[in-house]
Amino acid sequence: MLSIAVIQEDSWDALKCTELSQDSSFFAWAEVYIDGELQTTAEAGCDLRKQVARHRAYWLWLSAFVHGELVGVDARIVPEVPVVVAEVEPMVDLKEEKLRSLLEKPPVDGQNHVGRLVEICQLMDWELPTFEFEEVEEGYRCICFMEFLGEGIEGIAISGKKKLTKQRAAMFVLEEIQGKQSNSS
């Protein structure tokens, strides 16, 4: 995902990863030039396996970018003592963080709401939403249904265009999910 962003963002350039090995641990920092300045994270991604350390470094970079915590290379913290690496963090925490990021952006007409719902369902290993269509006097009626935390959520839309109706029904489901997610936080 980070390499795609580097390609698409005009002010971003040259994704690279600086690595360090210490005893039997690997440390990695993702680095991207943004507006000509090398931006990285203070903390390194670390693990006993080099590839996992790199993946963690990319995750840390994305998280720091979202939270406005990127730093220059000189602010990077290099561990001086061997670091004991705990087992891989439970995926639930990463999934929950990703779910929050997918739900924090309010749905607006014209976005791909169906795609976002499918992405959420795949991320959380939930059943995909279902869509039922019916021709009505105004054009099409679409009912989007999905399960969210054990509760059925339904979005209904009517429009003259079938694709637009489907997107709007999905948008209403997203709005319901956002409301329930913010109430449970």
| Contact present, 105 and 183 (Cβ < 8 Å) | no
| 142 pLDDT higher than 90 | yes
Section 149-170 average pLDDT:
92
pTM of the model: 0.49
| 93 pLDDT higher than 90 | no
Which residues form the domain of 57? 2-75
Instruction: Find, among 12, 13, 40, the residue nearest to 27 by Cα.
Output: 40
Q: How many domains does the chain have?
A: 2
| Residues 99 and 173 placed together within one structural domain of the fold | yes
Task: Give 91's pLDDT tier (boundaries 50, 70, 90).
Answer: very low
Task: Give 156's pLDDT tier (boundaries 50, 70, 90).
Answer: very high
Would you say residue 85 lies in a domain? Answer: no
| Residues 62 and 112 placed together within one structural domain of the fold | no
Would you say residue 80 lies in a domain? Answer: no
Give the DSSP letter of residue 144.
E
| Residues 97 and 173 placed together within one structural domain of the fold | yes
| Contact present, 14 and 33 (Cβ < 8 Å) | yes
116 vs 101, which has greater pLDDT?
Answer: 116
The identity of residue 111, as a single letter, is: Q
| Residues 95 and 180 placed together within one structural domain of the fold | yes
For 57-95, b/e burial (b = at least 16 CB within 10 A) is bbbbbbebbeeeebbeeeebeeeeeeeebeeeeeeeeee
Would you say residue 70 lies in a domain? Answer: yes
Would you say residue 82 lies in a domain? Answer: no
| Residues 50 and 123 placed together within one structural domain of the fold | no
Section 19-26 average pLDDT:
78
Q: What pairs with residue 18 in β-bridges?
A: 29
CATH code where residue 129 lies: 3.30.160.20
| Residues 48 and 121 placed together within one structural domain of the fold | no
User: What is the pLDDT, as a whole number, of residue 18?
Assistant: 81
Give the DSSP letter of residue 178.
H
